[in-house]
Amino acid sequence: MERKSITDELRAALLQESPVFAGMSAQEIIQIVKLSGAKDGLYKKGEYILREGDRIFGFGIILEGMIQSSRFERNSRVIFQDHRKGDLFADDLVFGGVSESVCDFTTLEDTWVVWIEIPHSMEVLARRCVNHNRMLHNLLRIMARRNLTLIERTQVLTCKTMREKLLCYLEQEADRQGKRTFTIPFTRDGLADYLGVDRSALSRTISSLKKEGVIVCQGRKFSI
């Protein structure tokens, strides 16, 4: 990714779009960034940001681009989540006391990340300043929402058939986006990895559902 002309103001303006800094002004964000020893990372598409087993000292916030978390299990890649602009990643590992990454984080496009270092003690973070305390509350809220996402993923994976898994996921995505016609974030290969199914078998299931009139789809766009 090309080097940007990064200023405190530009970084803060983009960070305001992240739920981590909800309710904070640009100046308050600049203060947090300085106290946290934040560092910028610019990565090309397809680049590993973290590999399984890498040491981690903080979490990242995506200012531009997209990242995917995944790992190999039984000779196949399992996708956990796509992280988009404004999202954070590796925070659950840091606050969970995990010192090494348990999965790979790979860029799906050119990506700009801000790394926020976190002290070992959450109490230290809360005592730094009022704004750090507000950030901590925002982080806890984000983690609670992520837990709901994991519950949804469990609902999909516990479905008995591929057809049920696919329809369960599509219903969740329709509810998440608030419309019956929507675009999913996955390619066909990515969707197969997310559902934990064979790609060819998934294509046959989609074709069958289309013929039955249960779904309409073209590429990543679905209607149910």
Give per-residue pLDDT as tens, 20-38: 888 888 888 888 787 777 8
Residue 205 to residue 116: CA distance in whole angstroms: 43
| 107 confidence band (pLDDT: 50, 70, 90) | very high
Claim: this prediction has a pTM higher than 0.75: no
- C-beta of residue 43 within 8 angstroms of C-beta of residue 107: yes
The CATH number of 159-223, from 3.30.750.24, 1.10.10.10, 3.40.640.10, 3.40.50.720, is: 1.10.10.10
Walk across the sheet containing 39-43 and list its strands.
39-43, 111-117, 58-64, 88-89
Instruction: Write down the pLDDT at residue 62.
Output: 93
**Fold match between 8-149 and 159-223?**
no
β-pairing, 88-89 with 58-64? antiparallel
Side-chain half-sphere exposure of 183, counting CA atoms within 13 A:
4
Per-residue pLDDT tens digits for 173-184 = 999 899 999 999
Q: What residue segments make up the domains of the chain, in order of their start? A: 8-149, 159-223
CATH class held by domain 8-149: mainly beta
